[in-house]
Chains A and B, each alone.
Chain A
Amino acid sequence: MNPASSHAQMGIDALRAITTPLADFRIMPFGPEALDARLASGGMRAGALHEATALTCSLVDDAAATLFLAGIAAREARLASAPVLWVSCRNDLYAPGLEQAGLGSADVIHAHPSDDAALLGVVEDAVRDGTPAAVFAEASKVSMVATRRLQLAAAEADIPVLLLRRHRGRDRDPLADPSAAWTRWRVASAPSERLGVAGVGRPRWLVELARQRGGEGFSLIVEGCDATGRLAVPAVPRHRTAETAGSVRRAAA
């Protein structure tokens, strides 16, 4: 190797070091290698805003997105041994179901503001207070400015803010609005593995990472939260790939 090329190589390395984001923040790994390896810096950033939405506006996909974020919050709550603040204007959440994703009734404090504006205020106050292990929020209309505020507050307090963006219309993608979120996910429920006997297997979700800072998007089929909020990746891939499954659902919706 001639010195010129080695010199160029060093320059490229230096440039790479500058452009790659500094990973000096806390990471929340999912656990399964297949999922963590595809995220930049090996997991989700703890002090950041993460958004998820249902792939379609159906209720089952909404439930899957809810539990996807609940699992993240449950793992964080266990780690920090602090409660999770659950801010939502809806009242159809069923706490026993939430407990089966790892968020028992002792781990959650619910707040029920009257509208989205109050909701964002509550979330920001709670993050700046620093007590909760994570803040889960459920809103439909969040402006770019609001997401930026939440992202800054979360980074400062090192607390994850998990924002579930609800569908506002049948064919309006909530992720079409700009946002300062660190990661943006689309989640849908997927057919579970057929068991040899009659019955429903462990739930499976189609998880699609629409955007992440410093990395590529992907889509993957995962197995739903267990009692501690951990995801798993199915051992045997199905006949169709995850990507096709996603696009087929999108096309049908």
Chain B
Amino acid sequence: MRELGRRSETRGHPFKRMASSVAPEEMRDAPKVMAAPLALIGKLGRRDEIVAACPAARALGIHVGMAATHARALVSDLDFRVAEPEADAALLDRLALFGIRRWSPVVAVSPPDGIWLDLTGAAHLHGGEARFCQRLHAFCRRAGFTARLAIAETPGAAHALARYGREDIVIIPHGGVLKALSPLPVAALRLEGGALAAARKFGFETIADLLPVARGPLARRLGLATIGRLDQALGGKAEPITPREDVVIPAVERRLLEPIGTAEAIAQVMHDLLKDLAEVLQRRGLGARSLRLCALRIDGGEQVVAIGTSRPTREVPHLLRLLKLRIERIDPGMGLEQFRLLAPHTEPLDAENLGAILAGESTVRDPARLVDVVAGRIGPGAVFRIAPVESYVPERAVRLISPIETTGSWPAWQRPVRLFTRPEPLRRVMALLPDQPPRRFEWRGRSYTVVAGDGPERIHGEWWRRNAEVWAVRDYYRVEDETGGRYWVFRRGDGVAGETGDLSWWMHGVFA
């Protein structure tokens, strides 16, 4: 087969490719739906490359690593799609999770395209290794995957044989690892790119070439990592598999003999369920951040209520009080016969260090419980703290944060206790320019005579926010009228330069 190769592109040796190619048998195995040849394009560095090709496409001469434009030139009606590595990883992860639930408790993903299953002590459950391999292979074919399986004593050997072995299913008996690995290419050892290039330079083709070489010179030539990989594959060095965790949501369930419908009965069931759940959480060292109660009606309808907490907790009375607030949202209909309580969001909750409390230091009471109670009634958005923002503009100096967070404090400038969202205009203001507080003004239809005033406190606009604020200036005065009312008024402009403001007066807040 002749290829239109560019000189910059490395071309595999024709006979080698024949040896490892997967032509006729896989073609037969491939599901028939993939009629049109398909190839995936991914971006490697700055160039688009073929990262995967289906057997039909490979038969047409498309191979992995080929430039995308080259492939398009070769086969014009090839179905090109963009590779999605994240979606692939997610799919692989789901498969691993499935494996934990179906095949073996220790299953890990070996990116980018493999899964490790620890079959130790689990194979006999599936009828022995050979039978398990056949079943797994058939399962994968049904699911639309092309699978290659290898069972060996070490993960490294299985990894190598699954990818570079001759058959789709390879089972290496005890003690056969060395013999099975010897004819495989060096690349089967999961080496880095640099080590691979060095191996090619030094003429190491197969793993068998590495074995007679003294370890010291080999480490100097190919790096210590290569020795490690070789030992891992041959079993000289342990390589534990970190299994994918299968997170089980803590859940408890109660089925009732008779359907219930009253609030008291539902509260009782809630209490029982919470006690059960608290035990489950206690055993696992967890605290609930959210709870979901699913109630099944006798007509088959499901009623779901949920609560959230601001800190992990497994305190039954507290959670019960939060849940009771939701009883009115449950529609019992003809009666509820089954309840299920889940904790979808949990966080670790362990013993706390009491040292500070025992030493007599006073600690601030934890507001989390209070926050939950209030948020359960009026919604989590309506409970907050007000925290400082580093801004001198009064209306920008505050922001709302979560009530659990800690906050700082404001500078000790005199500030009113009530601030108007929008400053209100003053009329008929008598004031001396440039820096005297007003003598009298009219506000909301009443005139005020000022007897004392403090100021000005000059606040410049934040020029980095808007163009209009570049020169803007507000001069704030704290004034007191003759009946004792203290007000916060400001004038736009500094009274000297015209571009700082139009010298209008505004009321912005009231002091006590």
Contact = CB atoms under 8 A, between A and B. Distances in A.
Interface stretch (B335-343, B405-413, B492-500): B405-413
Contacts of B452: 192, 194-195, 198-201
Nearest to B395: A94
B364 A224 contact: no
Contacts of B178: none
A122 B403 CA distance: 15
Interface residues of A, number: 65
Contacts of B487: 60
A194 B398 CA distance: 33
Interface residues of B, number: 56
A224 B398 CA distance: 24
A197 B290 CA distance: 60
B434 interface: no
A43 interface: no
A189 B249 CA distance: 59
Contacts of A27: none
Interface string B329-365: 0000000000000000000000000000000001111
Interface string A70-110: 10000000001111010000011111111111001110111
Interface in B124-169: none
B374 A126 contact: yes
A212 interface: no
A145 interface: no
A122 B378 contact: yes
A140 interface: no
A111 interface: yes
Interface in A187-242: 188-192, 194-195, 198-201, 203-206, 224-225, 227
Contacts of A66: 417-418, 512
Contact of A109 (B363, B371, B398, B480): B371
B421 A81 contact: no
Question: Which of A80, A95, A109, A132 counts the most B-chain CB atoms under 10 A from its CB?
Answer: A95
A129 B418 contact: no
A148 B1 CA distance: 96
B425 interface: no
Contact of A129 (B363, B369, B420, B451): B369
A96 B397 contact: yes
Contact of A63 (B367, B406, B479, B512): B512
Interface in B413-445: 413-421
Nearest to A221: B484
B266 to A, nearest CB: 20
Given A198-B452, A200-B453, A63 B418 contact: yes
Contacts of B394: 94, 96
Nearest to A110: B384
B314 interface: no
A100 B370 contact: no
B512 A95 contact: no
Contacts of B385: 105-106, 108-110
Contacts of B364: 81-83
Contact of A96 (B369, B415, B482, B484): B415
A97 B374 contact: no
Contacts of A81: 362-365
Interface string A13-51: 000000000000000000000000000000000000000
Given A104-B409, A114-B382, A205-B512, 15 more contacts: A62-B510, A68-B512, A81-B365, A85-B370, A92-B419, A98-B417, A101-B512, A110-B403, A111-B383, A113-B377, A126-B374, A129-B369, A129-B373, A188-B484, A192-B480
5 smallest A-B Cβ distances: which pairs? A60-B485, A94-B419, A97-B417, A67-B512, A131-B370
Interface of A: 58-60, 62-64, 66-68, 70, 80-83, 85, 91-101, 104-106, 108-114, 118, 121-122, 125-126, 129, 131-133, 188-192, 194-195, 198-201, 203-206, 224-225, 227, 249, 252
